Structures are given as C-alpha cells and as structure tokens.
Structure 1
Amino acid sequence: MTANSPVPPAAPQACGPVGRDDAGRASEADRRRIGRRAECGTFFVERVALEFSTGQVVVHPHHGPATVKKTFSRSIRGERRKYLRLQVHHDDLQVAVPVETAEEIGVRPTIDLDEVREIFDVLLEASEKQEKVWSRRIKSNAERLRTGDLKVIASLIRDLTRQNEEKRLAFGEMKLLRDASGPFVAELALVLGKDVEEVTEMVNAAILENVSPELPDAKLATAS
C-alpha cells in the first residue's frame, strides 16, 4: 500500500502561495507551482489544501492518473476516517486513500503542458553516470523512483532505456523500468490527449534518437 511512501518536504514560502477558485482548483498562473519544492524546479505536491470531488482526475504517486470514483467513510479502531476511492486509468485497479493524508502520500493534480516540455527536456539530456556495482546501482535507481519527482523519474527512464538498448537489463532493472514507465507515460498521454502507444514512441524517440516532439502551445491549449 502507499501509506509508507516518503513524504516530500513542504514547499517554502519563497515559491509563493497557490491561489484557488471556489471549486478548490489552482488558478492558471499558480497551477505551475503546484508540486514544486524548495527550488521550485521539481514536481512535488505543495502543501496546500486540495479538495476532492467525484469524477476529478488526479495522479497517484505509484499508479499514475486516476479518477475519484467516490468518497466514503470507514471505521479504523473505532475512529471514522474519510477515504477516496480512486479508479486507476491504465490498470483495472481501485485504490483507497485516506483524504486527510492524500497529499502527504503524493496524490496531486496532473502536470500542465509547460511541465511536459520540461519533462521532455530531461529525456533529451545526456545520461547520468551509473554506479558499476549492480547492487548499488539498483538501490540508487529504486531510490530515484521512490522520490515521486517526475524529473527524477524521467531521468531514470532515460538512463535505463539507453542501458537496455546497449545491453539487455537484468530482471530487477527491467522491472524498475516498467514500474517507472507505466504511470509516467499514462500521465503524459492524459495531458497531451494521445494514446499510450503514441506517447511511448515519443518518449523513446527523445531518449534514443534525440528527437524533440512537437507539443501544442500551452496558451492555445488552455484557450481551447
């Protein structure tokens, strides 16, 4: 379950407060700051109150995009707690998340087009130097996945994909690549309005062929 997932640190005041409308949604100007931590350059959930409603699309840190199917209450040791039931998009799976700890677990809004551009910039960058000892390398890469930081996860997918192209990855690293890629590609597909197969090709082209994808203009997409 996700209760043991690491909790990202609160974003500092220097990043600015996130303005919200009456429905609890972030304003257009401030939405880009949602999920950014100290340097306002990575995608963690900022500690601001999110309101959840049935039909809302959010992102679970381990399962990717999901729709809020309903909220319900459950008694745990005599204490009533409110939960979200999330229907995961890319899998036939439902996940229950306590409302009061949803943000700490890492449930957040989807990224926007500007952030998608930043993600593809990471995919186009040179690979990081990898630890040669397998046990240390797999531990380091697993820690990269657990951060929940989309830029770090993008760099992990980039590095493992290139390594697999040169020499087939061992089982543990291949599983790590699959676990990282599923939710990652599903969120990009949702934001771009494309299917998973097409986005997978875009990601692989950026990583292996240094091809920068044509992305819609953020302002035009917002206007439409």
Structure 2
Amino acid sequence: MGVAYLFQVGDKIFYPMHGAGVIKAFEDREIQGKVQKYCILEIPLNNMDIMIPMKKLESSGVRKLLDKATMKEIMDEFRQSESNEILPWKERYKTNMEKIKSGDMQDTADVVRDLMNQSKEKVLNSSEKQMLNHAKDFLVSELTLGAGLSESQANELLQISS
C-alpha cells in the first residue's frame, strides 16, 4: 500500500503546512463506527499530535526528513541565489502557497528567500508577512529536527546578507 509502509515509529517526518515531527505510533481507532489504522504524528512546532488514516498517509504529503547533506545543499543555494520572479501580488501569493503546500524543502526555502528579498524592496502586506513567518517556521522545524541544529542556529541560516 504505497509509501505508508516505509514509515516506522520513531521516523522523523515532514508534514506539509504543519512542519517537522516524529511518528509516535500506529494505532487502530474506531471513529464513526469504523475501525481504521492511523499514523500518529507528534509535531513540536505546534505542540500537537495529528492522526492521519494510513490509507491517506501517502496523499497527505508526509515525507521523511531530508538527509543533512541535502539540507546543506538547499541552504547553500538559499544563501547564494536571488529571486528572479516578478509577479503580480495575487499570482505570487498563489504560487508561493502552492510551493509551501507541496512540503518540498527547496520550494519552501525559495518562498522564504523571495519574500525576504521582496521585504527589502517594499513592505510586505499582512498575508505575505504571515506566509513568510509560517514558511520560516517550517524550514526551522526541519533544520532543527533533521540536522540537529538549535533553533537559533537554524534561524541564523535563514538570514540573507544584504
């Protein structure tokens, strides 16, 4: 049944729109009279546990955390590249939201970099400020859990030099 059986209790994972976490358990639960197997995720960023039905685990976008070498490559590119997209606000917001929802660390890093660069040019509107903060939180959560960095070290990596 797909990637669901590639996961084990204790695996470090990333859940799009929630951040990095750990698989806490696999349990059978009865909900609305039906017994289903669930994957229980512990997400430290929001201090919550999430139950996902095993049959929806793959489609939920849950993935194992990237290895340290891949994270380093992404963060090196993050610090060295510049955004080249100049889109109208609505299109930019939609594109950025799709990137964040994908759960892909590279896409999320691109959103953070682009919005941080844009904020140097002009003040971000409240929706984009909120998006930037959430995307940063997701990156920090993956860097702290996956690369073993402290929160302050992860935040330092996200500073773009002017």
Q: Same fold (TM over 0.5)?
A: yes
SS at match of 2:46: coil
User: Contact conserved, 1:64 with 1:182, CA < 8 A, in 2?
Assistant: yes
* C-alpha spacing 1:102/1:48, structure 2 compared with 1 (3 Å): closer
The residue aligned with 1:12 is: none
What secondary structure sits across from 1:105 in the alignment? coil
Shift of 1:48: 7.3
Match of 2:100 among 124, 128, 145: 145
Distance 1:154 1:208 in 2: 15
Q: Determine the structure 1 residue equivalent to 2:91.
A: 136
Distance 1:145 1:191 in 2: 18
Distance 1:101 1:117, change over 3 A: same
Identify the structure with the greater strand proportion.
2
Contact 2:16 2:102 in 1 (8 A): no
Give the alignment's Cα RMSD to 1 decimal.
2.1
Q: Measure the CA separation in 2 of the matches of 1:171 and 1:70.
A: 38
With structure 1 as the length reference, what TM-score do the two structures score?
0.64
SS at match of 2:115: helix
Q: Tell me which amino acid in the other structure corresponds to 1:202.
A: L
Q: CA deviation at 1:47?
A: 4.7
Unaligned runs of 5+ in 1: 1-45, 210-224
Instruction: Decide which structure has greater helix share.
Output: 2
- Give the equivalent residue in structure 2 for 1:52: 8
Which of 104, 108, 111 pairs up with 2:59? 104
TM-score (normalised: structure 2): 0.86
| SS of alignment partner, residue 6 of structure 2 | coil
Corresponding position: 1:94 with 2:49: yes
Listed one character per residue, the Cα deviations across residues 34-70 of structure 1 (whole Å, up to 9, x for unaligned) are xxxxxxxxxxxx95741322x3322212222212232
Any idea what SS the aligned residue of 1:75 has? Answer: strand
Q: Which whole-Å deviations, capped at 9, do the CAs of 1:13-44 have from their partners, x for residues lacking one?
A: xxxxxxxxxxxxxxxxxxxxxxxxxxxxxxxx
Larger RCO of the pair (alpha carbons < 8 Å, separation 6+): 2
2: CA distance between counterparts of 1:70 and 1:47?
A: 16
Aligned partners of 1:162 and 1:208 also within 8 Å: no
Matches of 2:114 and 2:37 in 1, distance apart?
Answer: 40
> C-alpha distance in 1, partners of 2:28/2:63?
21
Q: How far did residue 144 of structure 1 move?
A: 2.0
Shift of residue 167, structure 1, vs aligned partner: 2.0
AA matched with 2:105: L
Q: Which of 127, 135, 149 in structure 2 is aligned with 1:194?
A: 149
Q: What is the SS of the residue equivalent to 1:70?
A: strand
Matched ranges for 1:20-35 at <5 A: none
1:56–1:144 CA distance, 2 compared to 1 (3 A) = closer
After TM superposition, give the deviation of residue 175 of structure 1 in Å.
Answer: 0.9
Residues 170-209 of structure 1 correspond to what in structure 2 (within 5 A)?
A: 170-204=125-159, 207-209=160-162
- Supply the AA of the counterpart residue of 2:81: E
Alpha-carbon separation, structure 2, partners of 1:62 and 1:129: 23
The percent identity for this pair of structures is 29
Bigger Rg over Cα: 1
Structure 2 letter corresponding to 1:122? E
